[in-house]
Amino acid sequence: MNGSENGFEVLQPGPMSLLQDAGRLGWQHLGVSPAGPLDLHAAAWANHLLGNAWGAPLLEVALGGLQLRSRVDSWVAVCGADVVIEVDGVPQANWSRFAVRAGQQLQLGYARSGQRAYLAVAGGFHGPTQLGSIATQQRDGLGGLHGDGRALQAGDWLRCAAAHLPGVASVPWPYVPDYHCRPLLRVITGGDALSFSEDQLQGFFAQAWQLSPQSDRMGARLCGAALTVPVLTSARQWSQGVSNGAIQVPADGQPIILLADRQTMGGYPLLGWLHPLDLGRLAQCPAHHELRFTAVSLSDAQAELHEFYRFFRE
């Protein structure tokens, strides 16, 4: 740590705190997944509250338990999981921005609902980039504070610039999710969906699934009444590129929803894709949480995603 630099010292990193940005885009043809925040909604609001550029580097804090000491007068915003937020013991509102002065300690308690909190700082955190991104990808050992995919550790130094904003601000309440409720997640059917029998396709939407404890940043694994996996034609015997939200159905009939750290190719039948704006809601669900799905048209999903990007990126 260089005492002449501005930033935050990591006193306690929590179970897993990762430096993320908009993702490592444009490298999937070489087998490099994009990484980036699992909950795009919460991450986008955290940066937006501070006036940061789209995808400015921030922290994805799994389950909470993070403690930082500031060496700079700045502003931070926290959105996502319901965690107790304190600056020198003084409570701060979630889904809001607030000032942190040099010498003060910022603490995030453990999540009471939701799984991931996003902590942004005015101007974004600074760090080395690899393949054009600072995003942490643990599986491939890419990105992060040290460029090797490691999660934050005690003693790490998060560099940022001093900043001054006019005052506190919060996300309007209609845009703050309730992580206690059972989500109804929207699916764009496609891929190999027509290869599934009609009763199997209806069965996917009719039943309540549970989120498996084996889920991680690569994929959310579902547990429920197994689907019968179709036998694909010879034209689909080869693996194909897969994207964020793709719903694979492996031989055991238990679907997997691919997430930010996914592989870039896959050969399992694809039932469809989770609505991109529902991936964040999925990322906030704890193990064994009940999940239900409903169909959404591609055009409706595209229109909603367009409005999301228009608001946050323009």
276: in domain: yes
Q: Is 118 helix (H, G, I), strand (E, B) or coil?
A: strand
116: in domain: yes
Predicted local confidence at residue 234, as pLDDT: 52
Q: What is the CATH number of the domain that holds 243?
A: 2.40.100.10
Query: pLDDT per residue over 27-41, tens digit each?
Result: 988 889 999 999 999
State whether 195 and 165 are in the same domain.
Answer: no
The Cα angle at residue 292 between residues 308 and 278, in degrees rounded to 5: 15
Please give the Cα distance from 72 to 74 (Å, whole number).
6
State whether 20 and 132 are in the same domain.
Answer: yes
1: in domain: no
2: in domain: no
- Domain-terminating residue out of 141, 175, 209: 175
Low-confidence ranges of the chain (pLDDT < 50): 1-3
Predicted local confidence at residue 159, as pLDDT: 96
List, in order, residues 6 or more apart from 93 with CB less than 8 Å away.
85, 168, 170
Predicted local confidence at residue 236, as pLDDT: 59
Query: How many helices and strands in the chain, by DSSP H and E?
Result: 4, 21
What is the maximum span of the chain, computed from C-alpha positions, in angstroms? Answer: 65
Please give the Cα distance from 205 to 220 (Å, whole number).
17
- Domain-terminating residue out of 154, 175, 196: 175
Predicted local confidence at residue 1, as pLDDT: 44
State whether 23 and 159 are in the same domain.
Answer: yes
Kindly state the helix (H) or strand (E) to which residue 16 belongs, with its residue range: strand 16-20
State whether 247 and 275 are in the same domain.
Answer: yes
Q: Which residue is associated with the tokens 């991104």?
A: 133
Query: What percent of the chain shows pLDDT beyond 90?
Result: 88
Predicted local confidence at residue 235, as pLDDT: 55
Please count the structural domains in the chain. Answer: 2
Please give the Cα distance from 77 to 313 (Å, whole number).
18
Distances (CA, A) of 110 to 81, 181, 285: 9, 19, 15
Lateral strand order in the sheet of 16-20: 16-20, 58-62, 113-121, 74-82, 96-100, 169-170
300: in domain: yes
Query: pLDDT per residue over 292-314, tens digit each?
Result: 999 999 999 999 999 999 999 87
Rounded CA Rg of the chain: 20
Please give the Cα distance from 266 to 218 (Å, whole number).
13
Handedness of CA 121, 126, 130, 132 (dihedral sign): positive
The domain containing residue 47 runs over which residues? 7-175
State whether 207 and 308 are in the same domain.
Answer: yes
Parallel, antiparallel, or unpaired: how do β-strands 209-211 and 290-295 relate? antiparallel
State whether 124 and 90 are in the same domain.
Answer: yes
State whether 140 and 21 are in the same domain.
Answer: yes
Parallel, antiparallel, or unpaired: how do β-strands 66-70 and 105-108 relate? antiparallel
Q: Six-digit token pair at 49?
A: 């509250």
Kindly state the helix (H) or strand (E) to which residue 256 belongs, with its residue range: strand 256-258
State whether 190 and 267 are in the same domain.
Answer: yes
Q: Which residue is associated with the tokens 């974004």?
A: 124
297: in domain: yes
194 residue type, one letter = L
State whether 158 and 12 are in the same domain.
Answer: yes
Residue of 276, 245, 59 lying closest to 151 (CA atoms): 59
